[in-house]
Amino acid sequence: SGPLQGEAVPETEAYEMFIQIIQGTCRDSDALHRQIDMWRQEMGPTAEGWLGGTYGITDDNTFIGVVRFESKEAAARNSTRPEQGAWWAQTEKCFDGEVTFHDCDEAMMFLDGGADDAGFVQVIQGRVADPQRFSMFMELPMDMLHEARPEIIGGCIAMEVDGRFTETIAFRSEEAAREGERKEMPAELRQAFENEMAQMQDVTYLDLRHPWFASKA
């Protein structure tokens, strides 16, 4: 997999939001999917501050979950619930090896955010040399992106204090995403994108060809 040209220059909106990234090697995708569905149905309605999540497994069995809460405090309170601990004790059996958790106090939605009917999600992870500059850049209006890449529904960017970021980009389909990346971007948009890409390090791309979603009703 590779970069979908233009994904890193969206129009963003500032929300008070906390995101936790859950990542690991999945050994039983069906069981993991069932566990997450069970959490959404049985525990999500009573989870304080829970907003939703985007989940998926790559072709090489890497699972990633991007879970949204109203605040870090709400997420912390949820993690201390006894039923949460019992659920995780079963869920971690779906993984091989260690599961990592990344807490992101700074999170931004862009364009229309995610969409529970998206058919394809690309996740970009890496580190930026200047997190403050990157955050300011992401907050700029980017109307040109929507015109140049209408197949991008939207997504979110989660930043950690050390400059590590996780970005999700939702598309109607992978076919539409691949077609869009072959288009030439407007010169101004391309230059802005290239400037920000230049400060990114250790960038990886995770393609979720069968993503699933959860949202609080």
65 contacts 55 by C-beta, under 8 angstroms: yes
Q: What is the pTM of this model?
A: 0.84
Residue-wise pLDDT tens digits, 136-194: 777 666 566 777 778 888 888 899 988 999 999 999 899 988 888 888 777 777 777 78
Calculate the alpha carbon distances from 120 to 144, 178, 212 in Å.
Answer: 22, 11, 9
Q: In this predicted structure, what is the pLDDT of residue 14?
A: 44
pLDDT band at 114 (very low <50, low <70, confident <90, very high): low
Read out DSSP for 12-30?
Answer: EEE---EEEEEEEEES-HH
21 contacts 69 by C-beta, under 8 angstroms: no
Q: In this predicted structure, what is the pLDDT of residue 143?
A: 65
Which DSSP letter does residue 187 get? H
C-alpha atoms less than 13 angstroms from C-alpha of 184 in its C-beta half-sphere: 2
Taking the chain, what is the end-to-end CA distance rounded to the nearest angstrom? 34
Q: In angstroms, rounded to a whole number, what is the distance separating the alpha carbons of residues 193 and 145?
A: 10
Average pLDDT of the chain, as a whole number: 85
Q: In this predicted structure, what is the pLDDT of residue 80?
A: 92
Residue-wise pLDDT tens digits, 64-102: 999 999 999 999 999 999 999 999 999 999 999 999 999
Q: In angstroms, rounded to a whole number, what is the distance separating the alpha carbons of residues 159 and 103?
A: 9
Of residues 163 and 8, more confidence is placed in 163
For 46, other C-beta atoms within 10 Å of its C-beta total 10
